[in-house]
Structure 1
Amino acid sequence: MVADHHNHNACIKQALATAETLCLQQGQRLTKVRRRALELIWESHRPLGAYQLLAKLADEGFNSAPPTVYRALDFLLTAGLIHKVESMNAYLGCAHADKPHKGYFLICDACHNVMEFDYQDIHASLENKAMTQGFELRSETIELTGVCQDCQPEEGEE
């Protein structure tokens, strides 16, 4: 899903720039713990659990109390900077934080990489179906599981 030559530092840099801009626009503060939590979440394209994040922050000298991490995660979720991958109970950086979006994910069962994708046609179809049923849609997350291209066996392999 993510090529070996992928530059996570570029992802982190872009995520932080977006976070700073959004926080400024929303009148919010990107505190040290929020910033570092976002950086740690963006270190790979594998979702990071709250307790994994807590351990990493504690190793770096941040407050190791769970409420500290959960407050940072709640802030990042509310700001639209991260997603919660429900099936994994873990968090992933949002690739579309600078524009309205919904959470659509491809999750590899083998390597656990998660790829976010943005398909407005899927959203429009679901929204239309909900509306015809008189249902007010408030949240939308779609998680598709399978095996990514990198983990699929080569032709002829078992």
Structure 2
Amino acid sequence: MTRATKAGAAAKSPLGFCLHDHDACVRDALVAAETRCAAGGLRLTPVRRRVLELLLQEHRALGAYAILDRLREEGFGSQPPVAYRALDFLVANGLAHKIERLNAFIACVHPDEGHTPAFMICRLCDAVAETYSSPARGALGDAARASGFRIERTVVEAEGLCPTCITEAEG
């Protein structure tokens, strides 16, 4: 495998359960968000940016009220619409995803690429890793084509144990 191929494979691997330079991860995601907003004529307001930063701090999903509590502590406002509007903007523009199982949100780890995400959620610590999904190419896509159904949106969430929780359970 060439160095470029290894780098590409690493970029596509699930982020959240693996060791990585988290400062660079956050920095790169913020640059990608700023670039995407500038290219699309979108406003990354201070509140939207701060919500994205909060989501990027850990690879765990945060609920809207946890985000609102942090915003309130920092003087950004205390009404639920403050958090929900920022989250709606981030999700609508591919900068964050909603984790349905947890009714919470996570920053997108591939904001500079169009993709269909899939999530691996640790049932013990709620850590979340994002990876790629291609439901239109798998069994679901085959069933949809056979029945004449057109898939417009999928949510793939797998529940299990992260490497840290497995190690702690076995140790």
**Paired position in structure 1 for 2:152:** 138
How do residues 36-115 of structure 1 correspond to structure 2 at under 5 angstroms?
36-115=50-129
How do residues 139-154 of structure 1 correspond to structure 2 at under 5 angstroms?
139-153=153-167
**Paired position in structure 1 for 2:131:** 117
Q: Which runs of 5+ in 2 are unaligned?
A: 1-15
Structure 1 CA distance for aligned equivalents of residues 133 and 60 of structure 2: 21
Question: 1:71-124, CA deviations, whole angstroms, 9 ceiling, x for partnerless residues?
Answer: 10000001100010000000011111111111201111112111011144x442
Question: Percent identity of the aligned residues?
Answer: 45
Structure 1 CA distance for aligned equivalents of residues 104 and 168 of structure 2: 30
Q: Which runs of 5+ in 1 are unaligned?
A: none
One-letter identity of the residue aligned with 2:137: A
Q: Would you say the 8 A contact 1:130–1:136 is kept in 2?
A: yes
Tell me, what secondary structure is at the counterpart of 2:132? coil
Q: Would you say the 8 A contact 1:105–1:114 is kept in 2?
A: yes
TM-score normalized by structure 1? 0.89
Displacement after TM superposition at 1:127 (Å): 3.0
One-letter identity of the residue aligned with 2:50: R
Aligned length: 155
**Paired position in structure 2 for 1:33:** 47
Structure 2 CA distance for aligned equivalents of residues 78 and 154 of structure 1: 37
Runs of 4+ in structure 1 off by over 6 angstroms are: none
Task: Identify which of 29, 37, 42 aligns with 1:23.
Answer: 37
Q: Would you say the 8 A contact 1:8–1:42 is kept in 2?
A: no
One-letter identity of the residue aligned with 1:64: S
Structure 2 CA distance for aligned equivalents of residues 41 and 154 of structure 1: 25
Question: 1:25-84, CA deviations, whole angstroms, 9 ceiling, x for partnerless residues?
Answer: 111010000000000001001100000000001100001111111110000001100010
TM-score normalized by structure 2? 0.83
